[in-house]
Amino acid sequence: MSTVLITDVTLRDGLQIVPRWVPTPDKLRIAQALPQCGVRKIELTSFTSPKAIPSLADADELASLTTRAPQVCYTALVPNLRGAQRALAARMNELNFVFSASEAHNQANLRMNITQSLVQLEQVLEAAGKTPVNVSLSTAFGCPFTGPVAPAHVIALMQQVQRMGASSISLCDTTGMGSPVEVERLTQAALSLYGEQGVTGHFHDTRGLALANAWAAYREGGRRFDAALAGLGGCPYAPGASGNASLEDLAHMFQISGVDTGLNLEALQPLAEEIAALTQEPIQSRLHKAGPAYALKVCQP
């Protein structure tokens, strides 16, 4: 049986666009519950400016309070050297450095051009030492401001950050503009550079293609994916952004296809309901609406 690793990004990408403040003790409860559901990698927070992402202003506190499960990798998003220094002080197992394949989105999201972000990456890699640095390449499948992003440009950026020393890459469909065909092409290229353990598919369900794109990546050899409870989240600096691939739906798709995720769906569903109640955001998961496949209904006489 094949195995995939699904990183839960609820507490970072899930919450960053939510206007309602979720108190730190509630975030902590979710962080502590995820390993009990079988989650083996958690994006805990983002070490960015509280002015930029107010919903994650408690990053340092949350990281200090979280009891680390020994079998779990705890990662955090960092946009620059200052963020990386905070993440290293918080004992993150991995740094997730973000920048965009699109100049327009990089300026909107990070207030830098791509060249400036690459300078920051060089500094982050030097500061990280032996701590792995993943690069999340946003708008890899299209930019909401300028439209399509040439695959050759994305591949050149992947090659460049690999030469610089990034240990892995995440291909991010920031606003759900990608198609399975495009996902296949870029996943092939990423796997040739980073190998099976070094490529993550990060898909948003803006146009209902998150699961189709994840399956396309899997068919090409991708074995790592990001998802959020209840399908929560989106980029606050991308017009039309909507939620991540639903963790419950993604796990269900793989499990009924004979792919092991290590996740407990029965335990995940109430956790998705809890985060939806905390944020007062709707649950986007189809599994929540319909239940698992083969969960038979009782016929009423």
Residues annotated as catalytic are 235
The alpha carbon dihedral of 89, 16, 146, 170 has a sign of positive
List phi, psi (to 5°) of 27.
Answer: -60, -40
Residue-by-residue DSSP string for 16-74? TT-SSPPPHHHHHHHHHHGGGGT--EEEEEE-S-TTT-GGGTTHHHHHHHPPPPTT-EE
Nearest to 164 by CA among 105, 110, 123, 106: 123
CB atoms within 10 A of CB 57: 17
Of 37, 33, 31, 40, residue with least CA distance to 12: 31
Alpha helices in 90-229 (DSSP H): 103-110, 114-128, 151-164, 180-194, 210-219
CA-CA distance, 117 to 108, in Å (whole number)?
A: 13
Measure the CA–CA gap between 55 and 216, rounded to whole angstroms: 33
How far apart CA 115 and CA 160 sit, in angstroms, is 11
Q: State the Cα–Cα distance between residues 71 and 68, nearest whole angstrom.
A: 9
With beta carbons less than 8 A apart as the criterion, state whether 213 and 253 touch.
no
